Structure 1
Amino acid sequence: MVTIYDIAKLANVSAMTVSRVINNTGRISESTRARVKQVMQELNYVPNSMARSLVKQETKMLSLLITDITNPFYTTLARGAEDTAMRNGYKLLFGNSDEDYAKERDYVDMVLSTRADGVLFAPAGDGSAEHLRMLQRRNVPFVILDREVPGIEADHVLGDSREGARRLVEHLLALGHRRIAMVGGRQDVSTARLRYAGYLEALKLADVPFDSALVHDVGYTAVEGFAFVDALLSAEAPPTAVFAANNFLALAVIRALRERGVRVPEDLSVVCFDDFGESIVLDPFLTVARQPAYEFGSLGMQLLIERIQGAAGAAPRKIVLPSELVVRQSSSALTGV
């Protein structure tokens, strides 16, 4: 294995000089720096970042913990985070909690054992507070993405879930719909609560009575054959439209409706939070509240790096990114009622 002493011998410099070139520290002439780098290249030497971290107390590794890697929102977010990390000289470790607190805890343990310099953290829900406090006790910087956790003060990059949900429901109301069902996430997740609040606000502003039978909290992950779809369709006053709290829920609802011979949007309109991205869907169909997923990751990573590099004492910062209403074929005007 090539060592810095091998490089020092061939370059006719001290080992300390080689270390300074690797870590870009100290005063070294450009000719000496170039000679050392040339020898490193000839010997195919790759600096041992973990060894350097023993001296510099940093690993140049960051972690991104998300809740569902199969969701295009998070894959695009991850791209934004990785691009920004790489531009700033950091490597990125990925973790996927699957909305599961136990799995999330395992990844937090991994972050602590690998001595990552910081974490970009999309919490599974309110129960993530325990895991975030573990990071705080070990002085590991983190930035929270997408969801807030009660009692945790930190930098955040969030979407405007309440406003986006309200606009989606107002879109359906403008099309003449009054019986609007909502399929939401667990109520221990802040975005689920906010999207439910936006749904209620839109109904209230339009003087449309709230019907609790039209609201179902089923979690954010896609599941097969929702049993509640049968209950909705067989009700004495069935809905004419459905607001799904995220894109995977919308797809699952549409699949269940099609299995039952219900056409979208001819028989029932469907709208949802979050888009799928151009690389996922060639012919976009769903009406959505589209969030800037790439910016979530990029801005979150920038805040994290700033914390690591000297903003530790600054007050917590919160960036709220607006969504964009994108109207497509899955929603249409109510007719024949």
Structure 2
Amino acid sequence: MTVDGLMNEGQERGRVTLQVIADKLSLSTATVSLALRDSAVVAESTKQRVQELARELGYVYNRSAASLRTARTNIIAVAFHDITNPYFTELLSTIEDTASRNGLSILLGTYSESLEKQNKVFATLREYRPDGMIICPAGGTTSANLRLLTSAGIPVVQVSREVPGTTLDFAGSDDARGMELAVEHLLALGHRRIALIGGNTLISTGNNRRTGYRNMLARHGIRFDPSLVVEGFGTRELGFRSIQRLLQLDDPPTAAVCFNDLVAFGAMLGLRHAGREAGVNFSIVGCDDVAEAAQWYPALTTIHNRQLEMGQSAAELLIRRIADPQADVRRVVLEPRLVVRNSTCPLR
């Protein structure tokens, strides 16, 4: 195995190294190494010469040798409880883009909302010796669950959700404020019986959004009614079932704020099955503003949580933490905004 991190897989003898490339181009091995990693400190003309020769000779980067030399793998792990929700797909996409721009690859692990599966995923990802991890923890995760990673010295950044009692970097949205904006919009339309569908106390986003919901009602002198709150993880099925049950109350709601857009999509379908229509005789507000929200019928009024910026911030926080493990802990909390479309209407 060469110490310079490059080898030609097809040559068992006399394999070509960084030194060979350097000699052919009359460059130093350090310059060749930087050029092959597309470093900004090397002139573009030099990078082009080096990379063209590497392609011509069919060189393959020897990651194992490089990681032995630098004690880094240039891999970051991403562990999410869900990637079926387009919100997390959007997060993952921008994390990968930011990582790639910085010469990093990603490993992905998922675990639904299962703590048991999460522990197994954390253990497996740790075996690959990633330089760091970005996690969105499963519901009910405690600081003890994260010690599997932190005790191994792996830098960890939390994204979207955060675990109480941890001192880890975090990138997310101001979830309480987002829910306040949603409820305030419905109150301005004349609604007073406003349901909250989805979320629970096992996750920070659920706690924070419920806090925002209650705060805005109290600010307008409206009594909190627990019969209008339905707990649960954010799925279309939850929205579909819950809205039909809420409509059967003696004093049913005229509007609903939903934990996320998936719940809102399900609630809109549930309304249709009950002979109602969002934006006509009932109001629905989602949360996240995934791409599908603008394409739904009717287009969904929702809270834009800036997930693309969130994913980029999480990746940048991790890159910073990897470079300086002793840096001060940072929390990037993004300001959400209300996006008004066609799923809300004045009280009739």
Q: TM-score, normalised by structure 2?
A: 0.85
For 1:334, give the aligned amino acid.
L
**Equivalent residue number for residue 333 of structure 1:** 346
**Equivalent residue number for residue 317 of structure 1:** 330
Task: Report the CA distance shift for 1:175/1:127 in structure 2 as closer, same or farther (over 3 A).
Answer: same
Higher relative contact order, structure no. (Cα contacts within 8 Å, ≥ 6 residues apart)? 1
Structure-1 separation of matches of 2:53 and 2:14: 12
Shift of 1:43: 2.7
Structure-2 separation of matches of 1:291 and 1:227: 25
Shift of 1:112: 0.8
Task: Report the CA distance shift for 1:263/1:50 in structure 2 as closer, same or farther (over 3 A).
Answer: same
Are residue 294 (structure 1) and residue 269 (structure 2) matched?
Answer: no
Task: Report the CA distance shift for 1:325/1:280 in structure 2 as closer, same or farther (over 3 A).
Answer: closer
Instruction: Say which is worse superposed, 258-267 or 35-44, in terms of deviation.
Output: 35-44
Task: Report the CA distance shift for 1:35/1:13 in structure 2 as closer, same or farther (over 3 A).
Answer: farther
**Equivalent residue number for residue 3 of structure 2:** none
Are residue 6 (structure 1) and residue 19 (structure 2) matched?
Answer: no
Structure-2 separation of matches of 1:280 and 1:96: 27
Give structure 1 stretches of 5+ with no counterpart: none
Shift of 1:110: 2.2
* Aligned mate of 1:275, from 283, 289, 292: 289
**Equivalent residue number for residue 194 of structure 1:** 208
**Equivalent residue number for residue 106 of structure 1:** 120
The answer to whether the 8 A contact 1:64-1:95 is kept is: yes
**Equivalent residue number for residue 248 of structure 1:** 262
Determine helix, strand or coil for the equivalent of 1:138.
coil
Task: Report the CA distance shift for 1:264/1:226 in structure 2 as closer, same or farther (over 3 A).
Answer: closer
Shift of 1:34: 8.7
**Equivalent residue number for residue 221 of structure 1:** 235
Task: Report the CA distance shift for 1:88/1:180 in structure 2 as closer, same or farther (over 3 A).
Answer: same
Instruction: Say which is worse superposed, 79-88 or 222-231, in terms of deviation.
Output: 222-231
The answer to whether the 8 A contact 1:7-1:40 is kept is: no
Determine helix, strand or coil for the equivalent of 1:127.
coil
Task: Report the CA distance shift for 1:178/1:32 in structure 2 as closer, same or farther (over 3 A).
Answer: closer
Task: Report the CA distance shift for 1:105/1:122 in structure 2 as closer, same or farther (over 3 A).
Answer: same
Determine helix, strand or coil for the equivalent of 1:261.
coil
**Equivalent residue number for residue 185 of structure 1:** 199
Task: Report the CA distance shift for 1:270/1:117 in structure 2 as closer, same or farther (over 3 A).
Answer: same
**Equivalent residue number for residue 260 of structure 1:** 274
**Equivalent residue number for residue 85 of structure 2:** 71
The answer to whether the 8 A contact 1:85-1:301 is kept is: yes
Are residue 150 (structure 1) and residue 159 (structure 2) matched?
Answer: no
Shift of 1:155: 0.7
For 1:304, give the aligned amino acid.
L
Structure-2 separation of matches of 1:12 and 1:326: 56
Shift of 1:221: 2.8
**Equivalent residue number for residue 178 of structure 2:** 164
For 1:298, give the aligned amino acid.
Q
Shift of 1:296: 0.7
The answer to whether the 8 A contact 1:7-1:36 is kept is: no
**Equivalent residue number for residue 187 of structure 2:** 173
Determine helix, strand or coil for the equivalent of 1:62.
strand
The alignment yields a C-alpha RMSD, in angstroms, of 2.9
For 1:239, give the aligned amino acid.
P
Structure-2 separation of matches of 1:12 and 1:268: 70
For 1:327, give the aligned amino acid.
V
Shift of 1:125: 2.8
Structure-2 separation of matches of 1:196 and 1:308: 34
**Equivalent residue number for residue 209 of structure 1:** 223
Counting aligned pairs with the same residue, the percent is 35
The answer to whether the 8 A contact 2:79-2:108 is kept is: yes
Shift of 1:38: 5.8
Task: Report the CA distance shift for 1:83/1:37 in structure 2 as closer, same or farther (over 3 A).
Answer: closer
Structure-1 separation of matches of 2:49 and 2:33: 15
Determine helix, strand or coil for the equivalent of 2:201.
coil
Determine helix, strand or coil for the equivalent of 1:119.
strand
Determine helix, strand or coil for the equivalent of 1:82.
helix
Give structure 2 stretches of 5+ with no counterpart: 1-8, 36-41
For 2:137, give the aligned amino acid.
P
Shift of 1:107: 2.0
- Number of residue pairs matched? 329
Task: Report the CA distance shift for 1:11/1:320 in structure 2 as closer, same or farther (over 3 A).
Answer: closer
Task: Report the CA distance shift for 1:37/1:214 in structure 2 as closer, same or farther (over 3 A).
Answer: closer
Shift of 1:273: 1.1
Shift of 1:33: 9.2
Structure-2 separation of matches of 1:32 and 1:286: 51
Shift of 1:138: 0.4
Shift of 1:173: 0.8
